[in-house]
Structures are given as structure tokens and as C-alpha cells.
Amino acid sequence: MDQLELVAEKVGMLMKAECELLGGECLVKKQRSLVIPARNVSVPCTLDLDISFTKFKEDGSALNKAVIYLLPEELPKFAFHLIEYPIPLPTHYQQRISAGANIICFYMESKEPPEHFAQRLAAALDTLEQVDGPLYVN
């Protein structure tokens, strides 16, 4: 087993998800189920989380990316836990959000060891709780 496969296995364990290697890219297969309030209706849905790392280098670093969908009230808690995680954000880190009426798309990208990225992201996801109903991270 080469180093990339070992890192993919470790990331999968940290994220409690399956990882798929396609060439030099590792895709983390994880879903998040939540209830989105829309007007007078609550809409249950399951969303795929888009998490990957590519350009794995000999020094153990890689280009890590994630697209996470959040409810507006979850954003402050999620962002706080990313920033305050014991492993600091790397120098090469960027994030942006796009917001709809009832959901936020949180995009993040970093250059660091995939294990660090996965630990920080998993911890932030674990802290999320939906205020008015169940939240499940699969």
C-alpha cells in the first residue's frame, strides 16, 4: 500500500466515511441529512458533502477542498470550531460562502496534510445541531 492509500484510509476513518481514489485524487463519500425550514414547511433532505484532496506531495501535504451545506444558524458555530480547532488553519487557506434564503454553501480550500484538514472538518461537523429538529451526519 503506498502513502496516498494510507492517507486516504486515515482520512476515511477520521471522517467516518468511505474514500475513493481516482488517479491522484481522493474523494470522501459522506452525506448530511437535515431538515430545511421553508416558509411554513420543513423539507427533509440528504445532501452529499463534496470533500476531496489532490496533488498529494512527498512531504504529506495536499490540496484539500470541501463544500458543506449549512443552515444559516449553523454557520457561526461551524466557522468558530474550524478556527478554534487545536491544529491551526494553515497559511494557505481560503473560504467563501454563498447564501440562499434557507441554506448556505460553505466552500473551503487548504494546502496542508489531508489528515489535519479531515480532523478539523470532522470536529466542526460533529458540533452541528439543528435547533428545531434532528440532524444526521452519515
Task: Note the helical H segments in the chain.
Answer: 3-15, 75-84, 114-126
| The model's pTM | 0.88
Task: Evaluate if residue 41 carries a pLDDT over 50.
Answer: yes
Q: Which helix (H) or strand (E) covers residue 78, if one does?
A: helix 75-84
pLDDT tens, position by position, 82-132: 999 999 999 999 999 999 878 999 999 999 999 999 999 999 999 885 434
10 vs 36: CA distance, rounded Å? 32
Mean pLDDT of the chain: 89
Q: In whole angstroms, what is the distance from residue 62 CA to residue 115 CA?
A: 10
Q: How many whole angstroms separate alpha carbon 125 and alpha carbon 127?
A: 5
